[in-house]
């Protein structure tokens, strides 16, 4: 047991107990367990606020409690205290309840500062297992912390100003197991050093599946948090018929936009099918030509450009024609003038349909099915790029965690790292931009 000194006031201030009945009674160090224990107490006769009515009462009785606190150098640190219960009970007053303490959430085994540190580690890219090992806790306790804090933050989530949604799917594990992630592409304004503002996306809903029912669940989640279906003006998505059906049903006033990446991918896959077929039929002609076709024309090396040019001059090969159709579509997608976009897209469609290439004709038919959604992209220039970036972060978390046994865990981590949630927790690290004098 160590004697207390003038540093107690500093420690009390750090714990947030100055001006309260609480005081530090003792600090002990267990070298064998590598544990620092801070014992808190209060003067007999002190009054505490009732958690329901805020009426002041003397303690009815106490129960011993402990909380895990931030590490103290190389030692784990715990707070212990006799936690008072207050109230009158019976019919004459509020029932007897355990008080709320200033250093921890009700019912939590962690202090607020410990929770803030653990969440900081998780939001910085650590998995729950890595964070648990770093702070010296069992990962099951951290999972309960993650679920509890994200649930509390989601209860306060306000989606009343969301007008644009991006819908994207992501896999939860091997096999056909997916969730739908809805995000707002311009939810967070970030000021840059030059005074300009850039926008960052955030996840606003996570639902199981990737069908129209998933979109319905997104709409329900939006409604639950202050949003309305009529306020959604634009929805960006892939070319899934299920998502189109869901948006038609749930957001009938929204303009649907096809992410151009998926359209380019569709036409590129049609070209690749033709290339692979002719490669099998003429292996000697196509030897060493893979990247001459895979790369965009403006990114070819001199050798790759020569190989492609040689094969394009071979009139009996269909790959050359398919390549030109594919490259042309890529260029059309870059056109920013909506009138010119529609004009050249119409010409491209006629060319692809007359190409006598079944794969290209099929791709053109799919493009026709999403014609208005592609024109909407030309007008809005809205894409799923922000959603795809979020998806990359989400997949990195899943890969580092080696998957998630529970969907609820995966959902909680997605909101934690990409939901821009607000947690009622103290700041535990000094501001790097503050220069103390």
Q: Residue 420: left if φ>0, alpha if ψ -120 to 50, beta else—which one?
A: left
> Taking 90 as the threshold, does the pLDDT of residue 384 lie above it?
no
> Taking 80 as the threshold, does the pLDDT of residue 264 lie above it?
yes
Most confident of 17-21, 299-303, 339-343: 339-343
Query: Which residues make Cβ contacts (< 8 Å) with residue 83, sequence separation at least 6?
Result: 62, 63, 64, 65, 98, 99, 101
pLDDT tens digit string along 330-381? 999 999 999 999 999 999 999 999 999 999 999 999 999 999 999 999 999 9
Mean pLDDT of 49-74: 92
Tell me the torsion sign for CA atoms 235, 239, 245, 246. Answer: negative
> Taking 60 as the threshold, does the pLDDT of residue 3 lie above it?
no
Banded pLDDT at 432 (limits 50, 70, 90): low
Confirm if 243 and 262 have CB atoms less than 8 A apart. Answer: no
> Taking 80 as the threshold, does the pLDDT of residue 219 lie above it?
yes
Q: Between helices 407-418 and 139-155, what is the axis angle to 10°?
A: 60
Banded pLDDT at 176 (limits 50, 70, 90): low
Q: How many CA atoms lie within 13 A of 69 on its CB side?
A: 21
**Residue 26: CB atoms within 10 Å:** 14
> Taking 80 as the threshold, does the pLDDT of residue 290 lie above it?
yes
> Taking 50 as the threshold, does the pLDDT of residue 227 lie above it?
yes
Residue with tokens 């900081």: 120
Q: What is the pLDDT of the chain when averaged over all its residues?
A: 89
SS3 of the chain: the string is: CECCCCHHHHHHHHHCCCCCCEEEEEEEEECCCCEEEEEEEECCCCEEECCCCCCEEECCEEEEEEEEEEEECCEEEEEEEEEEEECCCCCCCCCCEECCCCCCCCCCCECHHHHHHHHHHHHCCCCHHHHHHHHCCCHHHHHHHHHHHHHHHHHCCCCCCCCEEEEEEEEEECCCEEEEEEEEEEEEEEECCCCCEEEEEEEEEEEECCCHHHHHHHHHHHHHCCCCHHHCCEEEECCCHHHHHHHHHHCCCCEEEECHHHHHHHHHHHHHHHHHHHHHHCHHHHCCCHHHHHCCHHHCCHHHHHHHHHHHCCCCCCHHHHHHHHHHHHHHHCCCCHHHHHHHHHHHHHHHHCCCCHHHHHHHHHHHHCHHHHHHHHHHCCCCHHHHHHHHHHHHHHHHCCCCCCHHHHHHHHHHHHCCCCCCCCCCCCCCCCCCC
* pLDDT at 187 (0 to 100): 80
Confirm if 128 and 145 have CB atoms less than 8 A apart. Answer: no
Give the global pTM. Answer: 0.84
> Taking 60 as the threshold, does the pLDDT of residue 2 lie above it?
no
Mean pLDDT of 103-120: 93
Mean pLDDT of 24-49: 93
**Residue 167: CB atoms within 10 Å:** 25
């Amino acid at each position: 047991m160590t004697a207390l000194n003038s540093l107690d006031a500093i420690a009390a201030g750090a714990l947030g107990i100055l001006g309260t009945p609480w005081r530090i009674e003792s600090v002990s160090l267990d070298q064998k367990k590598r544990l620092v224990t801070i014992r808190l107490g209060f003067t007999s006769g002190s009054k505490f606020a009732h958690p329901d009515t805020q009426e002041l009462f003397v303690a009815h009785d106490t129960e011993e409690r402990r909380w895990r606190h931030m590490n103290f150098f190389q030692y784990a640190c715990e707070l212990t205290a006799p936690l008072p219960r207050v109230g009158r009970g019976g019919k004459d007053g509020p029932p007897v309840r355990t008080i709320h303490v200033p250093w921890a959430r009700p019912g939590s085994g962690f202090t607020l500062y410990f929770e803030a540190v653990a969440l900081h580690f998780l939001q910085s890219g650590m998995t729950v297992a890595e964070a648990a090992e770093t702070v010296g806790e069992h990962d099951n306790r951290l999972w309960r912390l993650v679920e509890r804090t994200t649930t509390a933050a989601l209860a306060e989530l306000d989606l009343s100003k969301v007008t644009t949604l991006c819908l994207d799917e992501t896999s939860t594990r091997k096999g056909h197991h997916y969730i739908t992630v809805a995000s707002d592409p311009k939810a967070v304004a970030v000021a840059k050093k030059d005074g300009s503002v850039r926008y960052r996306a955030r996840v606003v809903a996570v639902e199981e599946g990737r069908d129209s029912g998933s979109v319905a669940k997104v709409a329900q989640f939006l409604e639950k948090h202050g949003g309305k279906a009529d306020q959604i003006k634009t929805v960006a998505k892939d070319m899934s018929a299920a998502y189109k059906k869901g948006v038609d049903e749930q957001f009938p006033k929204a303009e649907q936009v096809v992410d151009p990446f998926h359209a380019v991918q569709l036409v590129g896959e049609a070209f690749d099918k033709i290339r692979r077929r002719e490669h099998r039929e003429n292996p000697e002609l196509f030897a060493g030509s893979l990247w001459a076709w895979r790369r965009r024309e403006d990114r070819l090396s001199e050798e790759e450009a020569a190989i492609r040019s040689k094969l394009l001059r071979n009139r009996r090969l269909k790959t050359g024609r398919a390549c030109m159709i594919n490259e042309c579509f890529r260029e059309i997608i870059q056109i920013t003038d909506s009138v010119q976009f529609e004009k050249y897209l119409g010409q491209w469609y006629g060319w692809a349909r007359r190409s006598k290439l079944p794969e290209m004709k099929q791709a053109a038919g799919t493009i026709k099915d999403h014609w208005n959604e592609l024109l909407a992209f030309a007008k809005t220039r809205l894409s799923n790029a922000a959603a795809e970036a979020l998806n990359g972060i989400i997949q990195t978390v899943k890969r580092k965690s080696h998957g998630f046994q529970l969907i609820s865990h995966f959902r909680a981590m997605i909101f934690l790292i990409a939901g821009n949630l607000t947690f009622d927790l103290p700041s535990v690290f000094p501001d790097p931009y503050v220069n103390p004098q």
